[in-house]
Amino acid sequence: MKQTGFSSELFRGQTIVVTGAGRGIGFCVANAFAEHGASVIVHSGRSRSAEKFADTGIEAIEADFTKGAETQGFIDTVLSKTRSIDVLVNNAGTMHGRFPAGDLTDAQYDDLVTLNQTSVVMVCRGLLPKLRSAENASIINTVSISARTGGSPGSSIYSATKAFVATYTKALARELAPQGIRANAVSPGTIDTDFHSRYSSQEKLENTRKSIPLQRLGTPEDCAPAYLFLASNALSGYITGQVLEINGGQLML
């Protein structure tokens, strides 16, 4: 399946790591990089989705990022597999459920923060030596429109973790610029993936759709080109510390 409608050699010879790539946006992004010549290492998520990549030459590694030991295991596996990393895409994340502020349990809070926030910090820290070994490396973190809007009811901690990652991305961009590493974020709006089939009713999605200037929900294929753009030094070599909003006009800044 074509993810971007065309193929190229833009990332030929480059090693790209994508987390949360067993489905949804990450799956599309990982395949799009492969379509454009990259050698891709994916973190597929918790589920056994490695078989999805069986025919593609993409290597899939499973790990539950709510568990620090499994996140560290993923990092160690990647470190053992490659000499350098040109692009790291931190995309694994979810909402886990809708938790009203007064009902949120400690366990729900911990899981959300550990997955959406701590795992991004761990993976960046752990893979940084391999990014330093590449020329013009780049980090791209998936955040969310909710980092700016606060999201919808029951998503306060999820939204706050995405705001953390947006700010962390800017801080990384400043700190790593002298080392030739760029850091940017992609911020999806309402993208039609399993994410929303779990956490949003059809009625809520239809109301959202009507409020979007482009009058449709987004797709993973709408998002993937933004990652390719931010990953390519040829296309975006002077862009760092930015959050690219992909939302059909749902939020205009």
> What does the longest C-alpha to C-alpha distance in the chain come to?
51
From candidates 31, 118, 184, 190, binder to ligand NAP by CB under 6 A: 190
For position 24 contacting ligand NAP by CB under 6 A, the verdict is yes
Nearer to ligand NAP, 93 or 248 (CB): 93
Selected range binding ligand NAP among 18-26, 30-38, 124-132, 175-183, rule: CB under 6 A:
18-26
Active site residue 238: no
Angle at alpha carbon of residue 95, lines to 91 and 101, rounded to 5°: 140
Beta bridge partners of 140: 89, 184
From candidates 11, 60, 196, 224, binder to ligand NAP by CB under 6 A: 196
Selected range binding ligand NAP among 10-18, 23-31, 148-156, 207-215, rule: CB under 6 A:
23-31
Min dist CB 212 to ligand NAP, Å, is: 12
**Considering only residues 136-155, where is the footprint of ligand NAP by CB under 6 A?**
142, 144
- Number of residues engaging ligand NAP in binding (CB under 6 A): 27
Beta bridge partners of 141: 90, 185
Min dist CB 180 to ligand NAP, Å, is: 26
Min dist CB 133 to ligand NAP, Å, is: 26
Q: Rounded to an integer, what distance in angstroms lies between the CA atom of residue 92 and that of residue 42?
A: 11
Asked if residues 94 and 115 have their Cβ atoms less than 8 Å apart, the reply is yes
Closest CA to 43 of 115, 98, 131, 96: 115
Backbone angles phi, psi at 82, to 5 degrees: -145, 150
- Among the residues of 133-245, which ranges form H helices? 146-149, 156-176, 194-199, 202-211, 220-231, 233-236
CA 80 to chain centre: 22
For position 46 contacting ligand NAP by CB under 6 A, the verdict is yes
Q: Rounded to an integer, what distance in angstroms lies between the CA atom of residue 232 and that of residue 107?
A: 39
Min dist CB 144 to ligand NAP, Å, is: 3
Query: 93 Cβ partners below 8 Å, 6+ apart?
Result: 20, 115, 116, 142, 161, 162
From candidates 16, 17, 18, 25, binder to ligand NAP by CB under 6 A: 25
For position 94 contacting ligand NAP by CB under 6 A, the verdict is yes
For position 194 contacting ligand NAP by CB under 6 A, the verdict is yes
Annotated catalytic residue within 109, 158, 199, 238:
158
Type of residue at 200:
S
Selected range binding ligand NAP among 8-16, 45-53, 176-184, 201-209, rule: CB under 6 A:
45-53
Catalog residues that contact ligand NAP under the rule CB under 6 A: 20-26, 45-47, 64-66, 91-94, 115, 142, 144, 188, 190-191, 193-196
